[in-house]
Amino acid sequence: MDVLTENHRLLDFSESENQKMIAQMARDFGQREIVPHIMTWDESQEFPIDVFRKMGALGLMGVLVPEEYGGAGLTYTEYITAIIEIARIDGSIGLSLAAHNSLCTNHILQFGTEEQKRKYLPRLASGEWIGAWGLTEPNTGSDAGNMRTTAVRDGDYFILNGAKNFITHGRSGNVAVVIVRTGSVGDAHGMSAFVIEKGTPGFTSGKKENKLGMRASETAELIFTDCRVHKSQMLGQEGDGFVQSLKILDGGRISIAALGVGIATGAFHAALKYSQERKQFDQPIANFQGISFKLADMATKVEAARLLTFRAGDLKNNGKPVTKESAMAKLYSSEIAVEVANDAVQIFGGYGYTKDFPVEKFYRDAKLCTIGEGTSEIQKLVISRALLK
């Protein structure tokens, strides 16, 4: 199989200078700007917009955007590294960073005209603007191709009606890329993507979700009521929206895989430290094989998830097909993030169940990874389709 032949030539286990630099920068930034506020933001569900502006100044809001459009012009390798470092501190900030970079910004970068790219990318890459991306609807999540929000042609305009839900930055986003129906239901080429600015008449935000985890990452509804959008706001060709969104999700899933790796890494290191400090029966609990074997399993899972994630990124960097590999990375990293966070809570015992220690938050945040940008079941669908085609 290709896992052992063709693709393994692309693997390089050494860290590049860029990777080391971005990891250190993200770590320092996280310690300074995120760590002191983690639980305040979590409790209040505040989306800390200033933090994203500051990350923009560091290049983290446009990691993949070429320098000519104001971005950092780096590769998936550095992008994954940045998400891991931020998510090991706070999953919420990692999720918002991933959605901004991989979904909204990347959709414009991949499918926008030169004019659209020049207009939107510098603002998004600098963090001046926050981006949202709307595919999901209340009645069509996994089955997104069955969406019902419509865009009906009216001369040089399209009139949008409907709603998108669970949208990251649904309220705070300055601009949204939305995929809506321009053709008939059941036609994979009956959907188109538009870039729409906040303030466009008929475009409003609805309910903000009250969530289990990822509480500092804003999740809200987008509502379209007779919203007139000029045809120049379409991304790519009419009818290409759904196919575009599948391509965007191929890259997006790598960032959710990185999010899972980051959360699992944070939970693992907290548990590793605690297990050597906490004493029961006159010795550190790490002396008990029941605990040390758990740590061994956790570390092995984190490492395997890292490899799958960087491999998917490497394929993307080299312009190779990545649909199956990004789904594998996303599936595995998400599932082990939940398992590792669960084990971390167990190692902390009763203290792990309190908000005085970080592991309960890792546990809550990790669960999103198995749901967002395609559930684990949908990843298995994507992987098995690729295997059986």
Q: Which of 26, 38, 135, 196 binds ligand FAD (CB under 6 A)?
A: 135
Q: Which of 374, 379, 382, 383 binds ligand FAD (CB under 6 A)?
A: 374
Q: How many CB atoms lie within 10 A of CB 139?
A: 11
**Phi, psi dihedrals of residue 197, rounded to the nearest 5°:** -85, 150
Residue 213 CA to residue 91 CA, distance in Å, equals 9
> Per rule CB under 6 A, is residue 108 in the interface with ligand FAD?
no
Q: How many CB atoms lie within 10 A of CB 67?
A: 12
How does strand 131-134 pair with strand 191-197?
unpaired
Residue 48 CA to residue 167 CA, distance in Å, equals 17
Q: Cβ distance 31 to 25 under 8 Å?
A: no
> Per rule CB under 6 A, is residue 369 in the interface with ligand FAD?
no
Instruction: Dig out the tokens for 376 from the structure.
Output: 């684990």
Q: Which of 109, 163, 167, 295 binds ligand FAD (CB under 6 A)?
A: 167
- In the complex with ligand FAD, which residue's Cβ is closer, 5 or 210? 210
316 CB-near residues (< 8 Å, 6+ apart): 76, 250, 251, 254, 322, 326
DSSP class of residue 137 equals: B
Binders of ligand FAD among residues 191 to 220 (CB under 6 A) are 211, 214, 219
CB of 377 to ligand FAD, least distance (A): 3
Q: Which of 269, 304, 375, 386 binds ligand FAD (CB under 6 A)?
A: 375
Between 37 and 76, how does the x/- string for binding to ligand FAD read (CB under 6 A)? ----------------------------------------
CB of 325 to ligand FAD, least distance (A): 20
- In the complex with ligand FAD, which residue's Cβ is closer, 227 or 369? 369
> Per rule CB under 6 A, is residue 22 in the interface with ligand FAD?
no
Q: Which of 52, 111, 158, 166 binds ligand FAD (CB under 6 A)?
A: 166
Calculate the alpha carbon distances from 86 to 13, 22, 29, 33, 35 in Å.
21, 11, 9, 11, 10
Q: Which of 80, 175, 373, 382 binds ligand FAD (CB under 6 A)?
A: 373
- In the complex with ligand FAD, which residue's Cβ is closer, 141 or 206? 141
Of 71-79, 133-141, 155-163, 307-315, the segment contacting ligand FAD by CB under 6 A is: 133-141
**Phi, psi dihedrals of residue 373, rounded to the nearest 5°:** 55, 40
Binders of ligand FAD among residues 168 to 187 (CB under 6 A) are 168
Of 45-53, 86-94, 160-168, 271-279, the segment contacting ligand FAD by CB under 6 A is: 160-168
Classify 58 as helix, strand or coil.
Answer: coil
CB of 194 to ligand FAD, least distance (A): 14
Binders of ligand FAD among residues 321 to 340 (CB under 6 A) are none
Q: Cβ distance 35 to 97 under 8 Å?
A: no
| Residue 68 among the catalytic residues | no
Residue 380 CA to residue 28 CA, distance in Å, equals 37
Q: How many CA atoms lie within 13 A of 167 on its CB side?
A: 33
CB of 371 to ligand FAD, least distance (A): 5
**Active-site residue among 33, 197, 373, 377?**
373
Residue keyed to tokens 């414009």: 108
Classify 28 as helix, strand or coil.
Answer: helix
Q: Which of 75, 271, 372, 382 binds ligand FAD (CB under 6 A)?
A: 372
Mind giving me the DSSP string for 118-131? Answer: HHHHHHHHHTSS-E
CB of 252 to ligand FAD, least distance (A): 9
How does strand 175-181 pair with strand 131-134?
parallel
CB of 267 to ligand FAD, least distance (A): 19
> Per rule CB under 6 A, is residue 371 in the interface with ligand FAD?
yes
Classify 251 as helix, strand or coil.
Answer: helix
Instruction: Dig out the tokens for 22 from the structure.
Output: 């971005």
CA-only gyration radius of the chain, Å: 21
Binding residues vs ligand FAD (CB under 6 A): 99, 133-136, 141-142, 166-168, 211, 214, 219, 368, 371-375, 377-378, 381
Task: List the catalytic residues.
Answer: 373
